[in-house]
A = this chain, B = another copy of it.
Amino acid sequence: MTETLGLALMGTGRMAHVYGPKIAAHPGLRLEMVFNPRLASAEAAATQYGGRPSDDLDAVLADPAVEAVVIATPTNTHVDYVLRAAEAGKPIYCEKPLDQTLERVDVALAALERHPVPFMLGFNRRFDPENAALQAAVHAGEIGEVNFLMSTSREPAPPPMDYVRASGGYFVDGVIHDIDLMCWIAGERPVTVYAAGSCMVEPAIGAEGDWDTAMTTLTMPSGALVHINNCRRCAYGFDQRVEAFGAKGMVQTRNHRDDNLVRWTAAATEARQPLKHFFLERYDQSFYNALDAFHAAVSGGAAPTPSAADGRAALAIALACAQSAREGRPVAPAY
């Protein structure tokens, strides 16, 4: 391994444009190649972030300067690239979710067992400084044994219907972030889940058999109870809060905003600006931190987390939530 870690960025879509600038800015990372089956797209991205463009997957994976890959392609191709990169012996950072079905996730897990390269799944919210501080406080015993975990995730506005249709449903696309975060903080996974879904924001979402408003309960082996609420519309912005309550106290995260000023006017006092940004802005730092963790693990020879198995578990829970909301009964996840 050279002094910096040489990366190939697989894909040039929305998430690739999240990772591109962060790879370029990270002193320990070196963007070697940008891959897209359409060469023009690869060229455009390479011009922006550096690296050599390529539409030849074999060449990318065979290049000795490519020491690891960052997979930011469409979700339904994640597993394909994981298989190829694993066979090529390249460490993998893969954007979440690994796939929308447990079957395909299991294919990837089997491949990673055959080719045990370092693998890390992009559950970036674990790397948000607020969430990380809360998780550390809980694991340090600051609140004693955990009784309740609460996660609030409300988005400024519903996504386009094309996105919704391809998303795998609200639980697999959105709630899964909270599921992974809650399990990570709790240090355990639920024995049963119960979810209730409504369609109160965008009727077209309901017409697809999906939900835009959901409330989820996870029952943990320790007896801890987890509450998650999600809504695809939030008048005041992107509301992201976590609360952990235990035998000795409680810790809470607070929302981020553009500036930290407190405003007093004739209309309102102690007012803060609306939380106007969405996940790209709110969790910008967490994506950088996630790459940093991947770099540190690969450079140091440690196994990065979240692992592929973490991704499988979160998906199994999310699918169980969707089934629960559909069937109106608690469901045990298929771990």
Mark A residues whose CB is within 8 Å of B. 25, 27, 129-130, 133-134, 137, 142, 144-145, 147-148, 150, 154, 192, 194, 196, 198-201, 213-215, 217, 219, 222-225, 227, 229, 231, 233-237, 239, 245, 247-255, 257-275, 328-330
Contacts and interface: CB of A to CB of B under 8 A. Distances in A.
Contact of A259 (B130, B194, B245, B263): B130
Given A133-B259, A150-B229, A265 B328 contact: no
Contacts of A251: 261-264
Contacts of A252: 261-262, 264
Contacts of A254: 260-262
Nearest to A250: B264
A64 to B, nearest CB: 27
B268 A272 contact: yes
Contacts of A258: 133
A225 B215 contact: yes
Nearest to A219: B196
9 tightest A-B CB contacts, nearest first: A198-B223, A268-B271, A133-B259, A249-B265, A271-B271, A250-B264, A215-B225, A236-B264, A252-B262
Contacts of A198: 147, 219, 223-225
When all copies of this chain in the complex are counted, the total is 4
A201 B148 CA distance: 12
A261 B133 contact: yes
Nearest to A134: B261
A243 B35 CA distance: 47
Contacts of A231: 147-148, 245
A214 B150 CA distance: 13
B229 A249 contact: no
B142 A263 contact: yes
Given A200-B224, A236-B265, 11 more contacts: A192-B328, A198-B225, A215-B225, A225-B229, A235-B266, A236-B264, A248-B265, A248-B266, A267-B268, A270-B270, A329-B330
Given A269-B271, A329-B330, A133 B215 contact: no
23 contacts: A25-B27, A133-B258, A147-B200, A148-B213, A201-B247, A215-B227, A217-B217, A227-B229, A235-B248, A235-B265, A235-B266, A236-B250, A236-B264, A236-B268, A249-B264, A251-B261, A251-B262, A251-B263, A251-B264, A252-B261, A253-B262, A270-B270, A328-B330
A225 to B, nearest CB: 4
